[in-house]
């Protein structure tokens, strides 16, 4: 029993030594990799702040020009967006018309529309003709000649 206890404590002692050894290796590797990264991060932060302090007066001086350029860039992007949307709308309309032509519905629809246009044109011609006759009868020249007769 004592030998079992002794082997068990020896095994725990060995695991504890391995964990301490692993911890030391991990710490050394962490410092080796993390140290330069931390230093680089600090350098980049300091460089950024120095550039910000140096360029702040330039930003204030040139802000009207920069603002105008931003407005132009935004307008150009809006124009390109509108052109893209109109292109999509045009392509979908062409696709719709192509499907109508392919199915034969467009020809039937055109015949009906043509008939309606002809009827409307004939009705308009009759109405304009009647209006012209009325205005011709009511014109001052016709009224004076009718009074003279």
My answer on whether 97 and 110 are in the same domain is no
Residues 99 and 113 in one domain: no
- The string of DSSP letters for 45-91 reads HHHHHHHHHHHHHHHHHTHHHHHHHHHHHHHHHHHHHHHHHHHHHHH
pLDDT of 84 above 70? yes
* Total structural domains within the chain: 3
52 and 83 share a domain?
no
Task: Look up the domain containing 41 and give its range.
Answer: 1-61
- Asked whether residue 7 falls in the same domain as residue 44, the answer is yes
Residue 104 binned pLDDT confidence (cut-offs 50, 70, 90): confident
Asked if residue 136 lies in contact with residue 142, where contact means CB atoms within 8 angstroms, the answer is yes
| Helix pair 2-61, 63-103: axis angle to 10 deg | 100
- Higher pLDDT residue, 12 or 93? 93
Mean pLDDT for the stretch of residues 79-95: 95
Same domain, 8 and 42: yes
Residue 96 and residue 140 in one domain:
no
pLDDT at 71: 95
pTM, two decimals, is 0.36
**Mean pLDDT confidence for 78-96:** 95
């Amino acid at each position: 029993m004592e030998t079992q206890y002794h082997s068990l404590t020896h095994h725990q002692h060995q695991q504890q030594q391995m964990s301490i050894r692993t911890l030391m290796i991990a710490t050394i590797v962490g410092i080796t990799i993390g140290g330069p990264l931390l230093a680089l991060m600090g350098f980049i932060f300091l460089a950024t702040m120095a550039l910000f302090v140096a360029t702040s007066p330039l930003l204030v001086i040139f802000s009207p020009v920069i603002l105008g350029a931003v407005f132009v860039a935004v307008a150009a992007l809006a124009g390109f967006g509108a052109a893209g949307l109109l292109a999509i709308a045009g392509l979908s309309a062409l696709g719709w018309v192509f499907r109508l032509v392919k199915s034969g519905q467009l020809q039937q629809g055109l015949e009906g529309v043509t008939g309606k246009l002809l009827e409307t044109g004939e009705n308009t011609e009759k109405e304009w003709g009647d209006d012209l006759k009325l205005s011709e009868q009511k014109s001052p020249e016709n009224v004076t000649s009718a009074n003279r007769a």
